[in-house]
């Protein structure tokens, strides 16, 4: 029986594990293992909401071990630290507990087909001080760390009698993550008033969003950027476009022009790259963003037994642009890799991957959702806003839930989530 090992149970990898377990695992046609260094999956586009404290990982997360037990695959907790392409094995680093004790030694996992779905990490472009002083939103652990720091600042300011005292938050990078986080933080500062912090309000939270490019949301159409800028301006968020951060220190950021932006909390959300691990293996062809180059079927150009999907996968489109690192790309790639691995095992035809851009949406908390729809439905590109935009934004998450849990269970999960959100506090205070 073919051994399929998927490394990374994120937006793409967990969908693939679910699909293959239904197509192959349940028919005993393959032995499927999912490896992840975390125990819980939280869909990455929700991480800024975890950071702000408006959602709870316990209601929005998937426990890998339980998901695997309910499907037809195994789960291995661990961090891949090496690949031996000749021996067809990957190595997992020793598993260490919080006290530094070894739970499991370094282990090897054999594969016939390996899937790389390890996502991306923030790219600080070597900017001094970022690693030491800025929060990142690459993982659940990091989002929760920011949330605790935010709560501490809210508590601190709430106790201060000086009504001028405030919290300065600087967000570097005005892509979807930076702009969405700014709006969520504004909402949370107002919410905290109702949760034991009567002196706190959004007027005491000073948010600055800094973008090196010409304008905010550089990857999205100008009309979306203009609408989002207006919405953020209305909230009092300061937007600094064409401003490059040259350094971060414990007191804030220093721009290339030598100006200081003082900040109590700094978040770096200025672009992503595939983990350095990818290039360090020395076995892949990669692009500037460390992404692994693939053939049309999404196999590594250097090894046909290694499939790649999601943010760590480098696919150049006919127009020369790289497929963007987005959940919709990971979702589409998981579909094709799932089809192709099953086709190989069942002796059927594989498919070529062609990226379909269905549009982009920016959800500015409860204040506004804006975006564009692409494709035949909109006959090109159609600007959308308000409730329709929110509905489409939410549908991307719903599609992920259906892919991971199946249609019936996925629908039930969404219903339970809606009920639980309605009954739970609107702000997470731990």
Ligand X SMILES: Cc1cc2nc3c(=O)[nH]c(=O)nc-3n(C[C@H](O)[C@H](O)[C@H](O)COP(=O)(O)OP(=O)(O)OC[C@H]3O[C@@H](n4cnc5c(N)ncnc54)[C@H](O)[C@@H]3O)c2cc1C
One DSSP character per residue, 105-134 reads --EEEE-SEEEE----EE--TT-TTHHHH-
Considering beta carbons, is residue 71 or 204 the nearer one to ligand X?
71
Q: Is 137 in the site for ligand X (CB under 6 A)?
A: yes
7 in contact with ligand X (CB under 6 A) = yes
**Nearest-angstrom CA–CA distance, 134 and 126:** 13
Does 338 engage in binding with ligand X (CB under 6 A)?
no
**Interatomic CA distance for residues 401 and 390, integer angstroms:** 17
Spatial CB neighbours of 320, under 8 Å, sequence gap ≥ 6: none
Should residue 33 be labelled a site residue for ligand X when binding is judged by CB under 6 A?
no
* Region binding ligand X by CB under 6 A among candidate stretches 35-43, 163-171, 233-241, 408-416: 35-43
CB-nearer residue toward ligand X: 8 or 338 = 8
Stretch binding ligand X (CB under 6 A), from 9-17, 105-113, 125-133, 298-306: 9-17
Binding to ligand X in span 245-284, by CB under 6 A: 275, 277
What tokens does 52 get?
């702000």
Report the nearest approach of ligand X to the CB of residue 44 (Å): 3
CA pseudo-torsion sign 269, 272, 278, 280: negative
Q: What is the rounded distance in angstroms from the CA atom of residue 128 to the CA atom of residue 285? A: 28
Asked whether the beta carbons of 192 and 288 are under 8 A apart, the reply is: no
Q: Does 61 bind ligand X (CB under 6 A)?
A: no
| 88 dihedral zone (left: phi>0; alpha: psi -120 to 50; beta) | left
328 part of the interface to ligand X, by CB under 6 A: yes
> Is residue 314 within a helix (H) or strand (E), and if so which, with residue range?
strand 313-314
Runs of H (alpha helix) within 362-406: 386-405
Instruction: Please give the size of the binding site for ligand X, defined by CB under 6 A.
Output: 32
Q: Which of 54, 68, 202, 330 binds ligand X (CB under 6 A)?
A: 330
Name residues contacting ligand X, limited to 153-192 (CB under 6 A).
176-177
Residue 5 phi, psi (nearest 5):
-115, 120
**Per CB under 6 A, does 9 bind ligand X?**
yes
Task: List the one residue from 44, 74, 147, 400 that touches ligand X (CB under 6 A).
Answer: 44
| Chain positions contacting ligand X, by CB under 6 A | 7-13, 35-38, 44-45, 47-48, 79-80, 117-119, 137, 176-177, 275, 277, 310-311, 325-328, 330
């Amino acid at each position: 029986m073919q051994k399929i090992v998927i490394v990374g149970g994120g937006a793409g990898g967990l969908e693939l594990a679910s699909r293959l377990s239904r197509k192959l695992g349940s028919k005993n046609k393959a032995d499927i293992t999912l490896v992840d260094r975390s125990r819980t999956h939280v869909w990455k586009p929700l991480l800024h909401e975890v950071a702000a404290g408006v959602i709870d990982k316990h209601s929005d997360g998937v426990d890998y071990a339980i998901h695997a037990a309910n499907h037809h695959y195994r789960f291995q907790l661990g961090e891949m630290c090496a690949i031996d392409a000749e021996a067809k094995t990957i190595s997992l680093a020793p598993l260490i507990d919080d006290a530094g004790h070894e739970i499991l030694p370094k282990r090897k996992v054999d594969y016939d087909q390996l899937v790389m779905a390890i996502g991306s990490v923030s790219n600080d472009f070597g900017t001094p001080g970022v690693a030491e002083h800025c929060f990142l939103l690459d993982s659940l652990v990091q989002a929760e760390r920011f949330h605790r720091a935010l709560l501490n600042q809210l508590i601190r300011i709430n106790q201060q009698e000086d009504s001028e005292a405030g919290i300065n938050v600087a967000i570097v990078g005005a892509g979807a993550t930076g702009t969405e986080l700014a709006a969520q933080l504004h909402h949370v500062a107002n919410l905290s008033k109702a949760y034991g912090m009567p002196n706190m309000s959004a007027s005491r939270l000073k948010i600055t969003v800094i973008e090196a490019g010409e304008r905010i949301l550089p990857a999205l159409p100008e009309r979306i950027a203009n609408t989002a800028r207006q919405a953020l301006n209305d909230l009092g968020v300061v937007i600094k476009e064409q401003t490059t951060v040259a350094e971060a220190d414990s007191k804030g950021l220093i721009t290339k022009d030598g100006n200081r932006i003082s900040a109590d909390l700094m978040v770096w959300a200025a672009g992503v790259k595939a983990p350095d691990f990818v290039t360090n293996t020395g076995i892949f062809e990669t692009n500037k963003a460390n992404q692994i180059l693939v053939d049309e079927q999404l196999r590594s150009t250097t090894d046909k037994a290694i499939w790649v999907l999601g943010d760590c996968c480098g696919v150049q489109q006919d127009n020369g642009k790289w497929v963007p690192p987005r959940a919709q790309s990971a979702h589409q790639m998981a579909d094709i890799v799932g089809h192709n691995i099953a086709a190989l095992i069942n002796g059927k035809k594989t498919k070529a991957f062609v990226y379909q851009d269905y549009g982009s949406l920016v959800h500015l908390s409860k204040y506004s959702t804006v975006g564009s729809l692409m494709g035949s439905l909109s006959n090109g590109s159609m600007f959308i806003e308000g409730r329709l935009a929110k509905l489409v934004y939410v549908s991307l998450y719903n599609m992920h839930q259906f892919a991971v849990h199946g249609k019936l269970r996925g629908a039930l999960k969404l219903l339970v989530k809606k009920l639980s959100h309605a009954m739970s506090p609107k702000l997470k205070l731990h």
